[in-house]
A and B are shown apart, each in its own frame.
Chain A
Amino acid sequence: MTAVEAHCQRAPATRKTRFCFLLLWSAALAAFPVAANERPGPQWQVGLAEFALAAGRAEEALVRIGETRGDAASWVRAQALLATGQVEAAKRRLEQQLTADSHRGDAALILGQMATQSGDDRGAREYFNTASRLGFGNTRQRALYELSMLDMADGKPDAAGQVLAGMEPGYWAALGYANLAAHFSKQDLNASRPLVALRVALAMSEQDVVSDRSNSLRSQLLVRAAYLSFQQEDYDKAIGFLEQVPLDSYYTPRALYLHGLSLDARDNYRGAMQSWHRAKKYPLAYPGVEDSWLGMGRGYDLSGYLGQAGEAYLAASASYESERATLRELASRIREEGAWKALVNDARGTNAQWFLADSRTLAQPRLAYLMRFMESGEAQRKVNRVAELVRLDKILASREQSLTVFRRSLSDLSSVPVATAVDEQQRLNARLEQLKARALEMQQRMAGASSSGAELKAVASMLAGVGRGLGSLETRLEGRTPHLSGLERRIDAALSRLQSLRGRAQQLRISAEQQLNDEAIAFVSRQDERMVLALDKAEQRIAHLYEYLALESIERGAQ
């Protein structure tokens, strides 16, 4: 145990804390000699920055990378600048990266995406061409995909097809062919070209190494292919596609509805009703579910069970009314609490067990509405803005709290008189001399015993280190007061900057939340209109059925 430790353990608690803190603080003022060849090299700093960036701490990555030079450092710096909103500085670094020895393709890809966002398609095409030429793996595939998207936007699907034909099978190729199919669907009356493109997309998606992403894309492609086949009245083909959609997919409700519709078209009402019955179990937020409720009535009607058909239409009508009440409640909560809390935060903050996560995701109405809402790119951007501001506010709040505590500790430290420390130093010096004498005595006594030699050497070295620390304590204590005052000023300035930044973050959050609220209210209103339309259809069917029954009854009476 060192003299400092021993003293810290003997002293009363409050005094002990203050004095130990004082010694620690004093130690901080000491210059620490470190051999230059033992310090980690620049590669170490790059490694630390890379990990900080991967862990989502871009601010730390920037500090770690500092002024480190080299291609790898420059690449990490560019990414960290981009993540911390310093877009122009990041752009300059990325441009420089294009002439470096590494990450040239990655830099070109990011520059291309930035050009696309700013509407500079020509510039974007040049960057994507560079990225496809210099990049490898995912970077190259993504660049080729972006080039095919630019061709499609220019109305050149054949050129896009040629680019896609040169791609490796996988996610980006699958996505490219899916978009090509969508483009053909808009142009062609016949579904054969879109269907061929979708079949290629399905084959490409099988090679995607990220299984969740691949499964989701595959389900979406299967439903699209089934819809096109259904439109072409090729019901067997549609059923074939739909039966490959997994039951835990986001696209399952609409797949079940289309499956019912295809069976119905082949006069298999019983089979159709089985599919619609399963689709009915999902929240009405999903496309196809409200029509499945109506489908049940239609199925009973066509099978000749008119009474049950009436009941099914009434049940559909009641479920739409109930959904409208849910939507009204959701809209009023969005107005009161904001969409961030009512729609985004509360929907995901349920306490379901992890093994129920899949069924929970599909079965909970509010989560279903959140997922539907997030299908739109504009909604994603608006939610992202609020999420980013919430994250920044959390960082600032946590920093403010720790700085406030640190500031308080400094005030406490300033109140400890230097004289106390000087007295303690004298006592510690005396104790150190005693320990040194004992160590020397033991060394002399045990001369020749090699087993204890190393330990005694370590004790002597430790005592020498403590001696050096205590020796310079007086000089360091002299600089304590001005140093503490300087530190207090720095912390006060930082606290003031923090508060100003928090104010700005809160102001921006109000604007971002207002935009999100408007988008969410419009979305809920559209969902309500959808329910009104479904309700209207159900009522018409009921009226039609009653009219038919009344006519039947009159006819029977006349006979």
Chain B
Amino acid sequence: MVAHPLIAFVLMLTAPLIAAAELDTEIDRLKADVAELASDLYELEEAFLHPADTQVAVFLTLARSDALTLDSIELSVNDTPVASHFYSERELRSLQQGGVQQLFIGNVPVGEHRLKAVLTARTANDRYVRREVAHRFQKEPGEFRIQLSVDARAPEYEPQIGFAEWK
């Protein structure tokens, strides 16, 4: 429903009803304007909510396309849950084709921290697995990125999670 009944009523009185084709064009125009605003806000947020000196970003990629069907992932920093995600079929397909998921972006102070990931997945040999991995990292001033790369090799298809750090 619209934000306020009074606003809705006033709009209803003032707004001429639009024909279907024109309505589609207007909706497209609105979507384009929303996308433009979203782009400006995204830059603003990146710059000010996650300042580079304290920023940590965690990304997830799949090392090979056919080894695992990810079901979910949970991420904790210093035992505080910071992100969790259930994968849709489309998202999985994107990861399998080289897509990169930004799992988390946030601020941590300079010093040592512990990142923990819990993933559940179905392996290529039809096993449902849940694996926990932890990684210690040293946050220094400046942008900091961690890449989680998930792999599973035949014949066991045991999930392997690699961590790579970038500054």
A123 within 8 A of B: no
CA–CA, A40 and B7, complex, Å: 47
A458 near B138 with CB under 8 A, answer yes
- Main secondary structure, interface of A, reads helix
B52 near A30 with CB under 8 A, answer yes
Shortest CB-to-CB span from B95 to chain A, Å, is: 7
A2 near B142 with CB under 8 A, answer no
Shortest CB-to-CB span from B105 to chain A, Å, is: 11
B81 within 8 A of A: no
A497 within 8 A of B: yes
B1 near A487 with CB under 8 A, answer no
Shortest CB-to-CB span from A185 to chain B, Å, is: 30
Partner of A63, one of B17, B42, B59: B42
CA–CA, A413 and B146, complex, Å: 31
Residue of B nearest to A45 (CB): B100
Q: How many pairs of residues, A versus B, come closer than 8 Å at their CB atoms?
A: 195
Partner of B15, one of A395, A497, A510: A510
Residue of A nearest to B141 (CB): A465
CA–CA, A514 and B13, complex, Å: 13
Shortest CB-to-CB span from A489 to chain B, Å, is: 12
* CB-contacts of B12-52 with A (<8 A): 12, 15, 17-18, 20, 23-24, 26-35, 37-44, 47-49, 51-52
CA–CA, A153 and B129, complex, Å: 51
A51 near B8 with CB under 8 A, answer no
User: Given known contacts A47-B100, A54-B93, A87-B28, is B141 in contact with A468 (CB within 8 Å)?
Assistant: yes
A551 within 8 A of B: no
Chain A residues whose CB sits within 8 angstroms of the CB of B90 once the complex forms: 54-55
B30 near A38 with CB under 8 A, answer no
Determine the interface band of chain B, counting residues with CB < 8 A from chain A: 35 or more
B35 near A48 with CB under 8 A, answer no
A392 near B31 with CB under 8 A, answer yes
Residue of A nearest to B142 (CB): A32
Shortest CB-to-CB span from B90 to chain A, Å, is: 5
Partner of B166, one of A40, A51, A497: A40
A506 within 8 A of B: yes
Shortest CB-to-CB span from A344 to chain B, Å, is: 13
B61 near A465 with CB under 8 A, answer no
Interface digits, B98-124 against A, CB 8 Å rule (1 contact, 0 not)? 111110000101110000000000000
Partner of A510, one of B12, B29, B42: B12
B3 near A51 with CB under 8 A, answer no
Partner-binding segment picked from A20-28, A238-246, A270-278, A439-447: A20-28
CA–CA, A35 and B17, complex, Å: 56
A524 within 8 A of B: no
A27 near B54 with CB under 8 A, answer yes
A48 near B51 with CB under 8 A, answer no
Partner-binding segment picked from A125-133, A251-259, A283-291, A396-404: A396-404
In the assembled complex, 17 residue pairs joining A and B whose CB atoms fall closer than 8 Å, in A order, are A28-B51, A30-B52, A30-B53, A30-B141, A47-B98, A51-B99, A51-B101, A54-B93, A58-B35, A341-B1, A385-B24, A469-B141, A501-B30, A501-B34, A506-B2, A508-B30, A511-B18
Given contacts A86-B35, A507-B11, 12 further A-B contacts (CB under 8 A): A25-B48, A27-B52, A28-B52, A34-B167, A38-B166, A50-B100, A396-B34, A466-B110, A468-B141, A497-B37, A506-B3, A510-B12
